[in-house]
């Protein structure tokens, strides 16, 4: 065994032990639960003491009744499914096209110099600025919301990945070349493993943007979904239903982020989250 192979094996052993230690630590849920319970108690006290009148902000009891009403009618579930479908489609398309584009910009200097200004330009535009064009081009329904989600997610993802690829240390490629990893093999076995932590972080940020945009898009360019449900509750002066649907949106957003967070438990990326 030569010195290079010994170094690689030692590094792998250290990464494995660090990952095991991180997995053993886990993530404690009780602080978040405690803060949530405290916020709920403060909300209830403010409403019970009439410091927060019902016409200004609904009480927890009113919101609970609104939840029950929405669940019995089936509307809350139907709207959540519609919004989740649109996010899955638009964000999935952004990932499918954004990851290869980010890798291309990161590995090819001439491509990065030529396209990075355009990527930055479109990334700086608010996705909501595209709403008039989305309605004009696609009408009302799923298509404009999917388009807006794609525009919100694609460019930040490309920018994040291109930056991650461009900062991979050259020594990684030098060691990979010693083992015959060049071209596509270097991309698969060297570049991708090196940027996986940044990729997961970019996916979490992008998913949050996608969920944010779908609600705004449905308020203007939709006839169903959680965004339209909020707009409908506002028009009907049902602030209890409005808060109910706001809570639903926030809970689904947290669930999506927690699902993506599970990717950090993979053996191949734990090293990027060492503390």
Amino acid 85: pLDDT: 93
Rounded alpha-carbon distances, angstroms, from residue 114 to 17, 104, 111, 169: 43, 12, 5, 23
Amino acid 27: pLDDT: 54
Q: What share of the chain in percent tops pLDDT 70?
A: 87
Say whether pLDDT at 43 is over 60.
yes
Say whether pLDDT at 112 is over 80.
yes
Amino acid 64: pLDDT: 92
Range in 12-26, 67-81, 231-245 with the lowest mean pLDDT:
12-26
Over residues 146-172, mean pLDDT = 90
DSSP string, 111-141: HHHHHHHHHHHHHHS-GGGGHHHHHHHH-SS
CATH of domain 62-273: 1.10.3720.10
The radius of gyration of the chain's CA atoms, rounded to the nearest angstrom, is 23
Comparison of pLDDT for 221 and 172, the residue scoring more: 172
**What's the pLDDT band for 92 if we cut at 50, 70, 90?**
very high
Other CB atoms within a 10 A radius of the CB of residue 190 amount to 20
* Domains of the chain by residue range: 27-57, 62-273
Average pLDDT over all residues of the chain: 82
Over residues 133-161, mean pLDDT = 91
Amino acid 171: pLDDT: 84
From the number of C-beta atoms within 10 Å of its C-beta (0-12, 13-18, 19+), residue 50 rates as exposed
**Secondary structure percentages of the chain, helix, strand, coil, to 5:** 85, 0, 15
* Token pair for 115: 């396209």
């Amino acid at each position: 065994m030569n010195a290079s192979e010994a170094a690689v094996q030692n590094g792998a052993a250290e990464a494995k032990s660090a990952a095991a230690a991180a997995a053993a630590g886990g993530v404690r849920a009780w602080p978040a639960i405690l803060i949530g319970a405290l916020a709920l108690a403060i909300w209830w006290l403010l409403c019970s003491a009439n410091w927060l009148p019902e016409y200004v902000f609904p009480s927890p009891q009113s919101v609970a009744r609104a939840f029950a009403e929405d669940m019995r009618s089936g509307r809350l579930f139907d709207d959540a499914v519609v919004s989740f479908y649109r996010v899955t489609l638009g964000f999935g398309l952004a990932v499918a096209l954004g990851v290869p584009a980010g890798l291309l910009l990161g590995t090819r200097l001439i491509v990065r110099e030529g396209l990075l200004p355009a990527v930055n330009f479109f990334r700086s535009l608010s996705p909501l600025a595209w709403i008039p064009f989305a309605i004009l081009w696609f009408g009302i329904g799923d298509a404009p919301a999917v388009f807006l989600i794609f525009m919100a997610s694609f460019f930040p993802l490309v920018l994040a990945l291109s930056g991650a690829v461009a900062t991979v240390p050259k020594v990684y490629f030098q060691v990979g070349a010693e083992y015959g990893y060049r071209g596509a093999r270097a991309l698969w076995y060297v570049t991708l493993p090196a940027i996986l932590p940044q990729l997961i972080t970019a996916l979490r940020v992008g998913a949050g943007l996608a969920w944010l945009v779908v609600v705004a898009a449905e308020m203007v360019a939709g006839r169903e979904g959680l965004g339209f449900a909020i707009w409908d509750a506002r028009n009907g002066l049902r602030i209890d239903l409005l808060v109910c649907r706001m809570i639903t949106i926030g809970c689904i957003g947290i669930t999506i982020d927690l699902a993506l967070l599970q990717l950090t438990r993979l053996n191949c990326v734990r090293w990027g989250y060492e503390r």
